[in-house]
Amino acid sequence: MPAIPFIVAGAAIAGAATSVVGAVNTSNARKDAASEALEMGKENADIMRRQATQVGEAQKFGMAGFDRQAGQFLGAQGANFAQQGVTTGGSSALARADSIRNLSADRRNLHQNYKVKIDELHNKARLSEKHGASQSDILNTQATADILGGVGQGLGFLAQGASAFA
């Protein structure tokens, strides 16, 4: 029997092995990338949650500062009215009521701004985790496809090698 069929079969086996090994290596690399994508999504989410906590702490400080300044403003306003001999009532009472209303509205707005920022950071954290999980799923699916493709290609090489004996 001539040696050519054996050479073709040997090359087919080598090609099949190379194809499968390459597919396994590619698959492993994708699985590593999938784990990293998942971990990165979680880490980014944790960073955003810590930022939300920091904004919450800043809110406490900011609101306390606002309340202190508002109290100082109202106290100074009252002292100014008293120094000018303005009695409570009439236009001074209206001015004070307007000041209180404006300060209350400013306080609500400040509180709402902090709340929006905190909610935004929590939403970004959730999206980051979902994105990381999604990327991980995609890469894991591609890893499985790499293995199946490599095995299929390897079987094709083996079929070509077997045809040399036919």
Average pLDDT over residues 100-116: 93
Question: Is the pLDDT reported for residue 1 higher than 60?
Answer: no
Does the predicted model carry a pTM greater than 0.75? no
CA 67 to chain centre: 34
The total number of structural domains in the chain stands at: 1
Give the domain range for residue 129: 4-163
Q: Which amino acid is at 42?
A: K
Q: Over 70: is that where the pLDDT of 96 sits?
A: yes
Among residues 105, 99, 102, 108, which one has the least CA distance to residue 63? 108
